[in-house]
């Protein structure tokens, strides 16, 4: 589903044997292979059948590593290359490409995904030490991530290309990241460089103590702040064995888990059953049932059945309505099967809630929608807030919309899916919804204004104009559209593309010339 870190290379190869590698002996191919990266070897398999056979073990592409631009462009520039990906997965594609430090490929990925650069992409590049894409995506938070992952020189490099007027606001986070990812000499050097920036003493003491523990420095219990003891319990990057080792270290110093259950919640969300077992044995229970609901929802969404079963065995009463919603939006059919067995859904399909179908659509999982429908789950009402079509639009997955059409989902007539597409800035989905026969609804001009205010490109606005009924306006139907653009631009100019504003000005000029011609004829 997700543009995975590892992608299989298509097996089919063009038969160019007579033109190329048929003249190359296996020994020569092996010498060539010594100078190629794993990704280049995998791409070489598409040259012809002989290359595919010779390099048959090299079938995996790693998107976070440099990939030949021609191969990347060939796949991700193809029409519909991202149609089976949700918005979260398209974000992942960009993040993986940013981590490869290949700017041309990053540009292709951004175009294919239809998304703008975001902080998460810059952080992925920084975590990988990808200097070129960091500069391309220069966002100050990526400097924090670079420091956190040990790339302090890269952090300083990024700051050269970012607006540093708000640097005081991130200095503490930058220092925190350095404590987590760098050695003490680098941390001291950074602190010297931040000389004019205030890092308050109480936080500094806390961060230094945390850093010392991470380095294996044995600290006396009475010399440590209770707060930072708890901060290190929630580390997501440590393997289970290291987490349990820290738990035991703190327990020997009479520091237990937080009574609010923050560490318990983190173990549930991460699916760390060993850490959860340790915490449950220490009596770490959340005081708020809402926390249990939130955590079990996340565990179901990620497919952590082992954690859900452990909670049940420990005597916690799960809210299966919440758990089922998490499983549905995560497309976790195995978790849904587990719930169906416990609640007897097959015997009593009337117990199934239509919102489950809406949640599965919101997760972009046609498979989960199909499974629920086959079990007897009804479609959500067309007028409800979680109708299947609007939910699928929110997933950002074009294939999910096509899946709903294939499964015969009822078509809403209020136009909500179009409004959702505009709100999510999924401009291509407007055409997809139209192609699948979803009615646009009665509020065409309102939709057009929302699209203009949301920064829709000119081509999208012109398409909406072509689909709409004749509009009322000063000067006819066409005038109503450019007048709407001008009104929106006057209210929030920064959000309307420059070419859209130029188009509106051009249309006004044409309209004014036509008016003068008409006045001349009347005289």
CA dihedral 409, 410, 416, 419 (to 10 degrees): 40
- pLDDT score of 126: 82
Cα separation values, 169 from 163, 172, 450, Å: 12, 7, 34
Pick from 78-87, 104-113, 419-428, 465-474: least confident:
465-474
Q: Which among 83, 84, 108, 80 is positioned nearest to 94, based on CA atoms?
A: 108
Residue 128 clears pLDDT 50, i.e. is over it: yes
C-alpha 433, offset from chain centre: 23
In this prediction, residues 373-378 reach a mean pLDDT of 93
Among 110-119, 122-131, 206-215, name the one with the lowest average pLDDT.
Answer: 206-215
Residue 181 CA from chain centroid, whole number: 24
Q: What is the 3-state secondary structure (H, E, C) of 355-422?
A: HHHHHHHHCCCHHHHHHHHHHCCCCCCCCCCCCHHHHHHHHCCHHHHHHHHHHCCCCCCCCHHHHHHH
Let me know if 53 is exposed, middle or buried by CB neighbors in 10 A (0-12, 13-18, 19+). Answer: exposed
Question: Do 389 and 364 contact (CB within 8 A), yes or no?
Answer: no
Which residues fall within 8 angstroms of residue 371, CB to CB, at 6 or more apart?
333, 336
pLDDT of residue 231: 44
- What is the signed CA dihedral for 361, 84, 465, 473, rounded to 10 degrees? 30
* pLDDT tens digits along 290-316: 878 888 999 999 999 999 999 888 887
Average pLDDT, the chain: 77
**If you average pLDDT over each of 210-214, 266-270, 491-495, which comes out highest?**
266-270
What pLDDT was estimated at residue 24? 58
Tell me whether residue 440 is exposed, middle or buried, using C-beta atoms within 10 angstroms of its C-beta: 0 to 12, 13 to 18, 19 or more. Answer: buried
Question: What is the per-residue pLDDT across 266-296, written as a single tens digit (0 to 9) for each?
Answer: 788 778 888 888 888 887 776 677 878 888 9
State how far the alpha carbon of 333 is from the alpha carbons of 303, 304, 452, in Å.
9, 12, 39
Q: What is the mean pLDDT of residues 145-152?
A: 78
Taking 60 as the threshold, does the pLDDT of residue 182 lie above it? Answer: yes
| DSSP H or E run through 152 | helix 152-160
CA distance 482 to 171: 46
Can you tell me the mean pLDDT for 372-398?
87
**pLDDT for 173:** 65
Whether the per-residue pLDDT at 65 is higher than 90: the answer is no
What are the tokens at 325? Answer: 């919603």
User: Are residues 329 and 362 in contact, defined by beta-carbon separation less than 8 angstroms?
Assistant: yes
Determine which of 97-111, 160-174, 177-191, 453-467 has the lowest per-residue pLDDT on average: 160-174
Burial 117-141 (b: 16+ CB within 10 A, else e): beebbbbbbbbbebbebbbbbbbbb
pLDDT > 90 in the chain, percent:
27
Residue pair 332/301 in contact by the 8 Å Cβ criterion: yes
Decide: 428 and 459 in contact? Cβ < 8 Å. no
The stretch 357-371 carries a mean pLDDT of 95
Question: Is the Cβ–Cβ distance between 459 and 467 less than 8 Å?
Answer: no
């Amino acid at each position: 589903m997700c543009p995975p870190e590892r992608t299989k290379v298509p097996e089919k190869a063009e038969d160019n044997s007579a033109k190329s590698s048929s003249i190359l002996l296996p020994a020569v191919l092996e010498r060539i292979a010594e100078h190629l990266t794993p990704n280049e070897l995998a791409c070489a398999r598409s040259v012809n059948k002989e290359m595919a056979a010779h390099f048959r073990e090299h079938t995996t592409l790693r998107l976070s590593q440099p990939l030949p631009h021609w191969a990347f462009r060939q796949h991700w520039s193809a029409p519909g290359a991202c149609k089976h990906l949700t918005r979260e997965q398209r974000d992942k594609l960009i993040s993986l490409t940013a981590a490869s430090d290949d700017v041309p490929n990053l540009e292709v990925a951004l175009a294919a995904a239809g998304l703008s650069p975001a902080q998460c992409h810059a952080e992925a590049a920084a975590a990988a030490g990808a200097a070129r894409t960091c500069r391309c995506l220069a966002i100050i938070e990526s400097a924090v991530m670079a420091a956190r992952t040990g790339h302090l020189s890269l952090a300083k490099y990024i700051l050269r290309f970012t607006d540093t007027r708000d640097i005081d606001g991130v200095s503490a986070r930058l220092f925190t990241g350095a404590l987590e990812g760098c050695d003490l000499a680098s941390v001291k050097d950074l602190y010297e460089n931040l000389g004019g920036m205030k890092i308050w003493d109480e936080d500094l003491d806390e961060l230094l103590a945390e850093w010392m523990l991470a380095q294996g420095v044995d600290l006396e219990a009475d010399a440590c702040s209770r707060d930072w003891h708890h901060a290190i319990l929630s580390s997501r990057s440590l393997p289970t064995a290291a987490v349990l080792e820290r738990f035991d270290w703190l327990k020997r110093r009479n520091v237990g888990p937080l009574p609010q259950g923050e560490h318990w919640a983190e173990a549930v969300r991460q699916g760390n059953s060993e850490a959860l077992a340790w915490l449950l044995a220490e009596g770490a229970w959340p005081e708020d049932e809402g926390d249990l609901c939130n955590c079990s929802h996340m565990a179901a969404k990620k497919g952590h059945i082992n954690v859900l079963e452990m909670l049940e065995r420990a005597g916690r009463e799960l809210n299966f309505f919440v758990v089922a919603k998490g499983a549905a939006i995560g497309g976790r059919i195995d978790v849904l099967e587990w719930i169906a067995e416990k609640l007897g859904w097959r015997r009593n399909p009337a117990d199934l809630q239509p919102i489950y179908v809406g949640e599965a659509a919101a997760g972009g999982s046609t498979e989960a929608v199909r499974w629920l429908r086959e079990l007897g789950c009804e479609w959500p009402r067309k007028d409800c807030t979680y109708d299947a079509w609007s939910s699928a639009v929110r997933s950002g997955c074009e294939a999910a919309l096509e899946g709903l059409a294939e499964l015969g989902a009822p078509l809403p007539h209020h136009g909500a899916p179009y409004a959702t597409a505009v709100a999510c800035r999924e401009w291509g989905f407007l055409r997809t919804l139209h192609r699948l026969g979803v009615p646009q609804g009665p509020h065409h001009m309102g939709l057009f204004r929302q699209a203009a205010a949301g920064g829709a490109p000119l081509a999208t606005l012109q398409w909406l104009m072509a689909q709409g009924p004749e509009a009322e306006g000063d000067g006819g139907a066409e005038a109503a559209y450019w007048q709407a653009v001008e009104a929106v631009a006057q209210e929030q100019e920064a959000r309307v593309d420059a070419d859209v504003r130029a188009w509106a000005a051009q249309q006004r000029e044409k309209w004014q010339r036509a008016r003068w011609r008409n006045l001349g004829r009347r005289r």
